[in-house]
Amino acid sequence: MPEDSIDHINFDELNKKAISQPLVKHIYTADPSAHVFNGKIYIYPSHDIDAGEAFDDLGSHFAMEDYHVISMDTINAEAIDNGVTLHAKDVPWVHQQMWAPDAAHKDGKYYLFFPAKAHDGIFRIGVAVSDSPIGPFTPQPEAIKGSFSIDPAVFEDEDGNYYMYFGGIWGGQLQRWRTGTFNAEQPESPTAHLPKDDEPALLPYVAKMTDDLLEFAEKPKEIEIVDENGNLLLAGDNDRRFFEAAWMHKYNGTYYFSYSTGDTHYICYATGDNPYGPFTYQGRILNPVVGWTSHHSICEVEGKWYLFYHDSSLSKGVTHLRSVKVAEITYDKEGKINTLNPYKD
C-alpha cells in the first residue's frame, strides 16, 4: 500500500485486521533478517529513525544510523531489544544510511553484514564480528572488496558453504553498475540508468563467501529470474521483477529465492535447484503492506516456517518508520507457498 493511498485509512481498524502486531513498539524496526542460533530466535533489523530527511525516490529519508538485535526465546515469547549493537560512527568506511542487514553464525562467531553509503556516496556492504549473537559487533575497517548496492542476505547451505545474495534498484544503486563499474557521470536519479520496459530486468547478485566470511570468494554473479518458459523477466514486468530485499531459504531440497518487487509492493519468490539459479518465478508470498517498502526473511522455527516482515501501521503510514512482524507461512503439496494477506478482509 503506497504512501499516496493511505489518507483514507483508519489505522485503528486496520490494526484490528492485521494478521500480526509489531514485535517491539518502543523503537521502529524494519527489514528483519531472522535466524535460529543455538535454539533461540534472533532478528537483525534496520533501526528506523526520523532524521528529518524529505521523502524521495532514492530513499534519502531512510537515514538510519545504527543496528539493534531483537531476540525471542520462542516464536510466541516476548521480543527483547538488546540495545545498540553497531553504530555508524564506529565504522570507518561508513558515511550514512545503514540499511537492511543480515547475520550468520560460523565456528562460534557471529557476523553482521550491512549495507551503507561510503564517504563517496556509493553503497557498499560491510561485515562486523562478535562472539555473541547480540553483539556488540566489531566492524572490519573496510567494506567487502568488490561489494556494491544493498540488502545483503547470507545463506548457509547444507554443505557448509555460505553465499551472499544482494542488490537493489533505484536508491539501492544497482542500475548504476550496469557496465561493471559505478556510473558516477550521470545524475543521481532512481530511474535514469534502468533498462527499457521491454528489456530484461536488472538482476540481483550472489557470491560465495570466503571461509572466514569476511570477503567474497569469487566475483559476484548475476542471478537469473525466469518465467515458466525460461525467459528472463522484463524490466516492465513490475509485478514480478526483482527490486530489492533478496532472501534465500531451502525447503525440501529446493532453493527458494525471494525478494520485493518494490514499486508494486509484493514479496515474491522463484525456485531453483542450486544456489546460483536460474530461479523460476513461482508467485507471491505477501501482498502489499501499509508503507512503501516491503522486506522480509523466511526462517524455520521448531518445524514451522515463518515470514518476518514489516509494515508502517504503528507509525500510521509513515514510510520510513516501520515495525517488524512475524506470521506463519505454509506450503502446498507441490511446495508452493500460500500467499499471505497482511490484513484480513
Residue 169 CA, distance from chain mean position: 13
Specify the residue for cell string 540481483: 204
> Residue 234, by phi and psi: left (phi above 0), alpha (psi -120 to 50) or beta?
beta
Q: Which of 151, 224, 237, 311 binds ligand FUB (CB under 6 A)?
A: 151
328: annotated active-site residue: no
Is 295 one of the binding residues for ligand FUB (CB under 6 A)? yes
CA-to-CA distance for 184 and 241, rounded, in angstroms?
Answer: 25
Closer CB to ligand FUB, 99 or 177, in the complex? 99
Q: Which of 102, 224, 237, 244 binds ligand FUB (CB under 6 A)?
A: 244
Closer CB to ligand FUB, 63 or 217, in the complex? 63
7: annotated active-site residue: no
Q: Which of residues 25-44 bind ligand FUB (CB under 6 A)?
A: 30-31
Is the sign of the CA dihedral 287, 290, 295, 296 positive or negative? negative
Q: Which of residues 56-95 bind ligand FUB (CB under 6 A)?
A: 59, 62
Closer CB to ligand FUB, 139 or 152, in the complex? 152
Is 100 one of the binding residues for ligand FUB (CB under 6 A)? yes
- 12, 244, 302, 332: which one is catalytic? 244
Residues in Cβ contact with 177 at an 8 Å cutoff, skipping those fewer than 6 apart: 148, 149, 183
Is 99 one of the binding residues for ligand FUB (CB under 6 A)? yes
Q: What spatial distance separates the first Cα and last Cα of the chain, rounded to whole Å?
A: 15
Q: How far is the CB of 62 from ligand FUB (least distance, A)?
A: 4
CA-to-CA distance for 139 and 168, rounded, in angstroms?
Answer: 23
286: cell is 505477501
| β pairing state of 279-286 and 267-272 | antiparallel
- 31, 81, 224, 311: which one is catalytic? 31
CA-to-CA distance for 58 and 53, rounded, in angstroms?
Answer: 11
Is the sign of the CA dihedral 293, 286, 46, 149 positive or negative? negative
Q: Which of 293, 297, 315, 323 binds ligand FUB (CB under 6 A)?
A: 293
161: cell is 558453504
DSSP 8-state secondary structure symbol assigned to residue 15? H
Closer CB to ligand FUB, 95 or 304, in the complex? 95
Specify the residue for cell string 555473541: 132
Is 150 one of the binding residues for ligand FUB (CB under 6 A)? yes
Q: How far is the CB of 134 from ligand FUB (least distance, A)?
A: 21
Size of the site for ligand FUB (CB under 6 A): 14
Interacting residues toward ligand FUB by CB under 6 A: 30-31, 46, 59, 62, 99-100, 150-151, 168, 244-245, 293, 295
Residues labelled as active-site residues = 31, 244
